[in-house]
Amino acid sequence: MSSDDEAPTADGGTASQSEAVEDRRSEEHPLEWDEPENNDKAPDERDSVSHRTEKYDDRKLVTGQAKYTADYEERYPDLAYAAVVRSDIPHGRVTDIDTSDAEAMDGVDAVLTPESDAVPDGKYTSAGQSYPEPSPWDMHVLNKHVRYIGDPIAAVAAEDRTTATAAVEAIEVSYEEYDYVTDPEAAFDENAPQLFEDVEVENEIVGHDYDRNRMAHIGGELGDVAAALDGETHVHETEWETIRQSHANVEKHTSLAYTNEDDRHVLITSTQVPNHTRRQLAHLFDIPIRDIRVQKPRVGGGFGGKQAMVVEPIPLALSLATDRPVLYEASREEEFYAMRSRHPMKVKAKTAVTDEGDIVAIDIYALSNTGAYGSHGMTVAGNVGSKPLPLYSKVPNARFEADIVHTNTPQTGAMRGYGAPQGTLALEGHLDEVARDLGLDPIEFRRRHHMEVGDLDEIAGMMGGEGANRRIRSCGLDECIERGKDAIGYDDLEQPDEDHLHRGIGMALSAQGTGVAGDELGAAQIMMNEDGSFHLQVGGVDIGTGADTAFLQIAAEVLGCDEDDIIVKSADTDVTPFDYGAYASSTTYISGMAVKKAAEDAKARILHWGSKLLEEPVEELETGDGTVYSEASGDSVTLEDIGYEAAYGGDEREHILGKGTHCTEESPPPFAAQFADVTVDETTGEFEVQKLVVAVDCGVAINPGMAEGQIEGANHMSYEMAVSDGITLDDEGRAEIADFDEYGLPSATETPPIESILVETHEPTGPFGAKSVAEVPTNTVPPALSNAVRDAVGVRIREMPITADKIKTQLDERNS
Amino acid sequence: MDIELTINGERTTVEAGSADDLATVLRQHGYIGVKCGCDGGTCGASKVFVDGEVRMACGMAAVDADGSEIQTVAALGTQNDLHPVQQAFVDNFAVQCGFCIPGMVIQAVALLDSNPDPTEREVREALDDNVCRCTGYQKPVEAVLDAAERMRGAQSVAADGGHSVTVSPNANESTRCCGGDCDE
């Protein structure tokens, strides 16, 4: 599919201009960097960071005491339960909603339709992003114009779940049905059924063309790709396809709303984005932001599916209508058809490579199916190019373009990796094929071009303008490759004894970001108690990753105390400072740096009081082991003594408080090298993955045990993307999946062993040298496994999932 | 109708409708360690012991449990005195969001009761219907193998607060229930 000429392109400029630009860039992006204080400690000098500290909520979790949203049920004896009427046609207009039978049922408290007073009729996006959201406002809480099987139409609150479900079933909806389209290429056609009129969308996105169901078109170019492709080179082109993957968070989307004794509206909710949710609800319901409180309890997995205000407006509207607390817990079936999924995409990769094996141009085009609504559509598609392409920062010409189109299919959204898995499959599969075609070793081929410390990454700025170019200050790619090769046994591969079995190893590289450059904010504050303990209040959001523990370790490292001496309270908008939320691999980097600054602020006051008590200058003092001590004199005073003295002694009494806010223009990439060891049966196409190895450079791992868990979990999710069908749809766009058994998440026996390797580098812009870890290993198994199958039996699977049937078909075609 | 249950050693009478599943009834009585991740028997988060057998409480009618002895994850150990399986999950970083963990712990305890020296394959087979989205099974499998080793060795299991508990080499009913002192 061709794209039109709306893509912004970079100006190549003259040679003299380029030199001037280069100089200015060097100034703006110096390689040298002022190391933040305390960042340069060697691992063995750190007391808390770099240690396998026990995850602070684990004892509650393993004994079943920890509270998730649904566990607050018992606190509210007059709780009502919500259920939702959803469209069972793919496209049309609701002409009538007969709620009379439902309203007459015993135990039904309220039935809301799009016309109800308590239901906002404004447009919004469910995407939990910064303001104004880089997603179109194209949704309503309840809908008259329905665009997919699953669009919410009406909502019920009832005494119990059974009654709520029965009431939903008693509601009759009449429709005027429209033509529908579920295929993204067909949707792009001028004659396809149209999902939106321009007037139905606010906050429109660049390149939108609703006459062609196009939500956005984006792109950027570095150098002159067309000229490079026309040169004396080998030009290769391949096309790749990815699945509609479910987040499959084991805790379903759950939200509880009520109005408290101060007339303020409280949501206890399973979310990654409490502050964005508060703002979005305030705008939607026309309630002042200060009158909404969003509390995040333990969260049972998010993976991006809860980086969205998916369910919260429903219980809030019902609680306003009934004056009761209302709990809405999506059903497992709703999770698959009415919550969110990864954008299925087709991605084309094209390269120009010289006889000598130099890549002179890379050209990527993505067609993304955003489904019925546009949440995260443009930004996810942008990452298809902007995350993997910088791996090859030495390539002089690069282009990326994407079209994001609407279809009458379930909603997509943010998901771990956020476009990078789709782009990484295309790029890493493509380069592997090019290397093999040219008779080059795929690993050495990558090594000639991949990013290194000191590189100015202009591809990062390709779509964001020159200001978005970045200097790479930490990169462990070579070590990731070496250690991964060793662990998988790359250099001494033994073939099976049986002639029909063939063993192969595939590898793929990956890069991600750490936070969104120039668009993140985290804040934290620390209060010292008089017994020398601390309360850490942080806006950062732990959704099960262990972020709270990482925050404790960072604070304890600075304050020189035990983690147990700090109580952490995270993500309650009434209590904790502002934070953008848990997404874009930002939590440890952004919120963690805010915690570090808050702790340093508190430490300065602690040293001041230590100086008074020890009668030594502040410059001589340090914190450690719960004390302030002087190396010069050997004297020390406990934090407890300081706490009492600050609170009760002297004329200059003070409550020792520290605060920290962090935002940055940086987004340093973590890196990964993935290896997959596969044996393929050439008579049947059946394959077995013996092992997955993934080596990750995440800078300094604040807690190596937790970091390994993140890596292995991400790799498992990535493996699923390579071998599972995902959410399959019928011709009308109806999800064919209702439960975990049908979804086909690889189980414990179906998942190969995963070996995670931490490659420690030092990212000077991160807290104690940390960058991100949780997303980068989500990108790599599909290309590594495709490459391994190619290595084993010589056929190439480009359409996910990789199945025995597809391999067999290609083997048969080749052999015929 | 009223049904009689002994839950974590405590005898109680609860009301249950014919359509109520056991998970819902247990949760209504405060046993929040019984989790509901699916809507009937496909994720394993609601696993409990019913008369010593592992059952998914969400897939079992409450009335069918009338007269039964039930143990939830809270019966296995307290925060200060964890069961060796729970301790191994903590020590091996096998817990992320934790939503699936009560069901996993129950299943792992059941496995080690019947097979104190399982192979990795046997552990994976035992956990095959426990859905975990966060860790990808690698660390839970390592945790169960670690727990097996600790229990076989009757190793003293560290617990915070100065307590420790010695586990009998043959893990049996007594390690699964606190004998009525559970405080869930």
Q: What is the pLDDT of residues A115-172, one digit of tens each?
A: 999 999 999 999 999 999 999 999 999 999 999 999 999 999 999 999 999 999 999 9
Q: Residue A7: is its pLDDT beyond 70? A: no
Shortest Cα distance from B119 to chain A (angstroms)? Answer: 12
Among B93, B135, B177, B183, the strongest candidate for a mutation testing the A interface, having the largest count of A CBs within 10 A, is: B93
Domain boundaries, chain A: 57-64+519-663, 69-179+262-318, 473-514+666-815
Give contacts of A 741-780 with B, CB under 8 A. 741, 745, 747-749, 751, 753-754, 756
Could you give the 3-state DSSP secondary structure of residue A680? strand
Report residues of chain B scoring pLDDT below 50: 156-184
Report pLDDT digits (tens) over A388-408: 999 998 999 999 999 999 999
Quick one: closest CA in B to A744, which residue?
A: B131
Report pLDDT digits (tens) over A448-487: 999 999 898 998 888 877 778 888 999 999 999 999 999 9
Contact A65 B135 (CB under 8 A): no
Q: Residue A251: is its pLDDT beyond 60? A: yes
Q: Residue A614: is its pLDDT beyond 50? A: yes
pLDDT of residue A669: 96
Report pLDDT digits (tens) over A487-519: 999 999 999 999 999 999 999 999 999 999 889
DSSP label at A631?
T
Higher pLDDT, B155 or A57: A57
Chain position carrying tokens 């309503």: A140
Mean pLDDT, chain A, integer: 94
Containing H/E element for B147? helix B138-152
pLDDT of residue B169: 36
Give contacts of A 160-179 with B, CB under 8 A. 162
A111: phi then psi, degrees, rounded to nearest 5: -125, 120
Report pLDDT digits (tens) over A586-597: 999 999 999 999
Would you say the pTM of this structure is higher than 0.90? Answer: yes
Contact A65 B74 (CB under 8 A): yes
Instruction: Name the pLDDT band for A17 (thresholds 50, 70, 90).
Output: very low
Chain B contact set for A748 (CB, 8 A): 123-125, 127-128, 130, 137, 140-141
Report pLDDT digits (tens) over A256-288: 999 999 999 999 999 999 999 999 999 999 999
ipTM value? 0.94
Q: List the structure tokens of A289.
A: 């932001």
Instruction: Name the pLDDT band for A30 (thresholds 50, 70, 90).
Output: low
Q: How far apart are alpha carbons B55 and B48 in whole angstroms?
A: 6
Contact A59 B79 (CB under 8 A): yes
* Average pLDDT score over residue span A649-677: 95
Higher pLDDT, A560 or B154: A560
Q: Determine contact: A57 vs chain B, CB below 8 A.
A: yes
Q: Determine contact: A343 vs chain B, CB below 8 A.
A: no
Chain B contact set for A300 (CB, 8 A): 35, 37, 97-99
Specify the CATH architecture of the domain A473-514+666-815. Answer: 2-Layer Sandwich (3.30)
Q: How far apart are alpha carbons A208 and A7 in whole angstroms?
A: 12
Could you give the maximum distance between any two Cα atoms of chain B, in Å?
Answer: 47
What is the separation of C-alpha A119 from the centre of its chain, rounded to a whole number of angstroms? Answer: 30
Give contacts of B 109-148 with A, CB under 8 A. 121, 123-125, 127-141
Q: Determine contact: A59 vs chain B, CB below 8 A.
A: yes
Q: Determine contact: B57 vs chain A, CB below 8 A.
A: no
Q: Determine contact: A691 vs chain B, CB below 8 A.
A: no
Instruction: Name the pLDDT band for A44 (thresholds 50, 70, 90).
Output: confident
pLDDT of residue A469: 85
A85 bridge partner residues: A154
Question: Using CB atoms, which residue from A61, A301, A705 is nearest to B133?
Answer: A301
Q: How far apart are alpha carbons A268 and A282 in whole angstroms?
A: 15
Equal CATH topology for A69-179+262-318 and A473-514+666-815: no
Catalytic residues of A, by residue number, are 775
pLDDT of residue A35: 60
Question: Using CB atoms, which residue from B45, B78, B128 is nearest to A748?
Answer: B128
Picking from A389, A465, A471, A400, the residue whose alpha carbon sits closest to that of residue A11 is: A465
Q: Which CATH superfamily is domain A69-179+262-318 in?
A: Aldehyde oxidase/xanthine dehydrogenase, a/b hammerhead (3.90.1170.50)
Give whole-number Cα distances, A664 to A136, A587, B98, in Å.
Answer: 25, 13, 32
Report pLDDT digits (tens) over A346-359: 999 999 999 889 99
Please name the fold of domain A57-64+519-663: Aldehyde Oxidoreductase; domain 4 (3.30.365)
Could you give the 3-state DSSP secondary structure of residue A570? strand
Domains of chain B: 2-74 (3.10.20.30), 84-152 (1.10.150.120)
Q: Determine contact: B74 vs chain A, CB below 8 A.
A: yes
The C-alpha angle with vertex A718 and arms to A250 and A670, in degrees rounded to 5, equals: 110
Contact A63 B33 (CB under 8 A): yes
pLDDT of residue A233: 85
Q: Determine contact: A140 vs chain B, CB below 8 A.
A: no
Chain B contact set for A163 (CB, 8 A): none
pLDDT of residue A25: 45
Contact A251 B99 (CB under 8 A): yes
Chain A contact set for B19 (CB, 8 A): 162
pLDDT of residue A682: 97
Contact A748 B32 (CB under 8 A): no
Chain A contact set for B140 (CB, 8 A): 748
